Each structure stands twice: as structure tokens, then as C-alpha cells.
Amino acid sequence: MSVLVGKKAPLFETDAVVNGGEFVEKFSLEQFIGKKHVIFFFYPLDFTFVCPTEIIAFQDKIEEFNKRNVAVIGCSIDSKFSHWAWLNTEKNQGGIKGVKFPLVSDLSKTIAENYDVLAGEYDYNEEGELEFEGDAVAYRGLFLIDKQGVVRHQVVNDLPLGRSVDEALRMVDALQFFEDNGEVCPADWHKGDEGMKATAEGVANYLSK
């Protein structure tokens, strides 16, 4: 699996559903460069089980991301019509009604492939026919992208393992603290904690407290 940290996030233009039900063509991460940090996350499929818990958890914390000037964007291999239907299904019926952040459609699976989170791959069988081996969905990948369009943090979970939205927020806080103060963030750092100078003296001073 590729490590994209330190590299430019792969860009794309694709269909998306925004504001809980509006179709957008040629949705792109490029619109956020120079303006916002981005949490871009993949989930396997609409109308499944772990996925709505994650998506609703992100929506529940969306104001915290907004305060930090962070765009939250979800992506799966479903169509924009599937996204729309799921966004307009009540939660007690397995839907995610009330979610307002964009959901991107990756029907071609090229976005998941470019981010190297596709849970399988195309290969030729013994008859020379192209087949897909594995699950034709995305792993639970999450990428924190800075305002220059560079990936600064990534985490990829297997399909059964839901993510921590609080950890995503913590990583946003850590990155923004470093950008604002030039100090690095030690283990288990949280917003409001002291940072550390990236020098031998800085480490010694931090550890002696």
C-alpha cells in the first residue's frame, strides 16, 4: 500500500452529492487548495452497517471541523444516485438523513485506486480475461490534506474496523498547531497541551517537566 504522506493528494473531477441532496458535477479537491484543510475519507458502500456510524459521527462533529476551517468529504464506489437515496433515507431505516457534507461518487474506482485503498485489484485469469480479485470497494482510508494540497496524515482500516472521528480532529489540531507555532506535537498531544521544539534541548526540556 502506498504512503501518500508528504506527497500531493491525487486530484479528480467527479460527481458528488452536497448539502444532503444536491447533485454536483466535476467536484474536485482543487477548490480547497489555498483555502481549507481537508479530511478526505473513503468508506466501502452505501446502505451498509459500519459506514453509517462513521458518516453520522463525522456529521455530529461537523461544527468542530468548521471551526478549524476543515472541509470533510466522504467517498465510496457508489453512484451519485445511491448517495442521494441514502442521504434521503431516515436513520431508523438505515439511512443517513441529515448529513450535509459532500459524498463523492467513485464508480470507476479510479479515485480509490489512486489513493491505493481499493480492497482488491484487476488481474488476468488463465484464459487471459481481465478479472477483479478481492472486494471491489475501498478500505476505510482517511487522508488529512493541508492547504497546499499535500497529504500530512493517513490511516487505513480494514473493512470491519470503524474509525475515530475524535482522532481525526486531534490530527487536525496537531497539524494546525505545528503550522501556527512551528513546534512539534509529542505523543498523545491534544489541543491546549504544550508543544515541543524539535531539538535535543527541546526534547530534554519537555521530558523533564
Span 117-138, pLDDT tens digits: 999 887 888 888 888 788 899 9
Same domain for 192 and 94, yes or no, is: no
Q: What is the average pLDDT score of the chain?
A: 95
| Residue 2 or residue 87, greater confidence | 87
Q: Beta-carbon neighbour count of residue 194 at 10 Å?
A: 12
Beta-strand ranges (E) seen in the chain are 14-18, 22-27, 37-42, 70-76, 103-105, 118-124, 130-138, 140-145, 151-157
Claim to verify: residue 127 and residue 41 sit in the same structural domain:
yes
Q: Give 3-state DSSP helix, strand, coil % of the chain, rounded to 5.
A: 30, 30, 40
Which residue in 16, 51, 174, 175 is the catalytic one?
Answer: 51
pLDDT of residue 119: 94
Q: Classify residue 3: in a domain, yes or no.
A: no
Nearest to 150 by CA among 70, 34, 58: 34
51 is catalytic: yes
> Does residue 204 fall inside a structural domain?
yes
pLDDT digits (tens, 9 = 90+) for 42-97: 999 999 999 999 999 999 999 999 999 999 999 999 999 999 999 999 999 999 99
Range of the domain at 192: 164-209
Joined together, the cell numbers standing for residue 1 give 500500500
**Could you give the number of structural domains in the chain?**
2
> Cβ(87)–Cβ(17) under 8 Å?
yes
Residue 1 pLDDT class (50, 70, 90 cuts): low
Distance CA 35, CA 31 (A): 8
pLDDT in tens, 146-160: 999 999 999 999 999
Is residue 7, in this structure, part of any structural domain at all? no
198: its cell numbers: 524539535
pTM, two decimal places: 0.94
